[in-house]
Structure 1
Amino acid sequence: MNRMFLSGFLVSLIVITIPLVWLIDARSSSRVLPTPPVAVPEARTTFSLPVEPPAPVHATPVTEADPSDNIVMVKKLPEKVIPPEESSGEVRDRAPIRTLVYDASRLYTLRTALSHVTIVDLPEDAREVYVGDSKLFLAEVLGSRIKVKPITYDLKSRTNMIVYTEHDRLSFRLLVVPPGEEDDLLSFRLPKSETVVNLNPIKTVLRKKLKEEESQDLSMKRRDFLKEGDPQHPLRATFHADKLLVRLLGFSSLDQNQYAVIDCRNDSGHDVTLRRIRLRRFQKSLLWETSRHYEDGMDWSRDLDKTVPAGQHVRLLLEVGKITPLSQREGLFLSGRVRTSGGGEIAIKAVSAGERL
């Protein structure tokens, strides 16, 4: 009987314990179940991201890239992307109105379209225009403008055009393109340089010729003055040695320039050559009469190779700055060198002081 009681007790314990254990396990499992996911519309389930808590106000902003940004950028891309060949400098060159530099060594491309006219505006008048095939293109000269039109439907038509202006030449390659891609106006300008095309050659020639004539007239005046004229402001300084007389006669103004007039007379029996003439302005010392202080900027000289024949005299002009009147303590010192026929040299020294111009 004890065995039967023990068996019944164990069976009852098992029957009661199993449901109790299952209930306890079910309760403990329900406490760790995950939170159900947030409901998201069906259209956004493919790119939704987990919800992140908002960052604190003082927190540093996150610098990591958000995957959703890429999706937005893809949506913002334009439908038509510029091809690589059009994104280069060709776009600027194909503008319907262009301004180009006048360059005779360059070959320019001119795009024309049927039922359209293209104008070439030059900085000077066009004299001659040559078209490679006049059956394909029509070119008409209107002074400094050239009108170009195609007279063919063939988009593969190509030819060249040479334009001669008054002083230069331009070369073009003519093309036929679809309407909307043609050139409307090509304006040429001169380069910013001193070596630009001379647009006034006649004026330049006349100015050059006038300067030459003025120079010749000045030379004639100088020669006549040297032979016959007397100085306008006499001032004497004389050197005499070995029958050679060199004198400073004074000063004269000629063509807005001032000159010292120097006369050289050769009374010897042989020719002499005047090699150098120098004129300096000085001021006498207050303590020593023989001491001279030469003034700065008052020194003029000229190297010569002038032959003075025996028994004759010549006059020379020495260009000087503006000479102011001399005071009682100021003077001029004339020096130079003369070479004789025997190979010797004579030093010229002459002083003019205490006289007024």
Structure 2
Amino acid sequence: MEVIDLLIIGGGVSGMAAAIGAKQAGVNNVMLIEREDYLGGVVNQCIHNDFGEKFFGACMTGTEYVQNLINDINALKINYKLNTMVLNIDENKLVTYVNPNEGIVKKQFKSIIISTGSREMYTGNMNIVNNKLTGVYTIGTAQRLVNLHGYLPGKKVVIVGTSERSIIIARRLILEGAEVKALIEEKSEIVCDREAAVNIIEEFDIPVKLSSIILEVNGGERVENIKIGRLRNGIKGTGDDVETVDCDCVLLTVDLIPEMDLLKSLAIKISNKNGIYTEISEQLDNLHQGIFVSGSIIHPCAYADDVTIEGLKVGKRAADYLYSKEYR
């Protein structure tokens, strides 16, 4: 069986940076695997101009940022496979993957970097009286619909949450002709702490309802209105504290959960300490030499520039491992 030096699982910005870092450090036989039909991951959905100042030294859109990394991948002649899903990794770094062209394949690798990223996970922060209602989405899904597919999720939109992602999708929807009826925040102040993002609320005159929650989502086949309750000392309001807002779409700001499935077969203990899964990396170092993690799988809410810089470093760590084991 052919033995390949390094496999990177996940073709988002961190995975691409890891491949680039390893190749620049002298690892020639590198394979990058991505389950989607394009590289770049979730950053492809981000067409706003807020990327690249740390890593490239210039401000650019998310799609431009991804393309710059793809250009580096191609220039370094790094082998990558799209539409490819990794099914299993064993303790000896034997990897099973599948794609439409090759079917199910097993390959042996000397080192592996897992950079599978994060996904949205609904944690139940509102009441939906009818689970068949159309018009309830996560903000990530809405961003994908608008920016990648050209569809508005609704024309009169309520957004639950005041994170930076929530504010950015609110601006995007307004620019595309939708009306954002309100940003609803359970806390007594806006969660986002980046001044540039918070300024969007004032610039686009977006209503914000603090210390409030959604009590009901009502409609027939589609959302027609919601009831918002104001919290007083943590208690749901009644009477004058309840407001009905007409809308046809509700967007939920939900948690980002790391894609951990491939780590389960490696006997890794998974726990979340303040939203950062750093102990996973420590366990891999101790239990499985030559297997590394990078990107939002351990830093779910990190910015693209930061996980790219980290990915570059992890790629060089893998190169150091390979040189110490194979080339000296």
Give TM class, smaller chain.
under 0.3
Specify which structure has the higher proportion of strand. 1
The higher-RCO structure (CA 8 Å, 6+ apart) is 2
Higher gyration radius (CA): 1
Specify which structure has the higher proportion of helix. 2
> TM-score, normalization: structure 2?
0.18
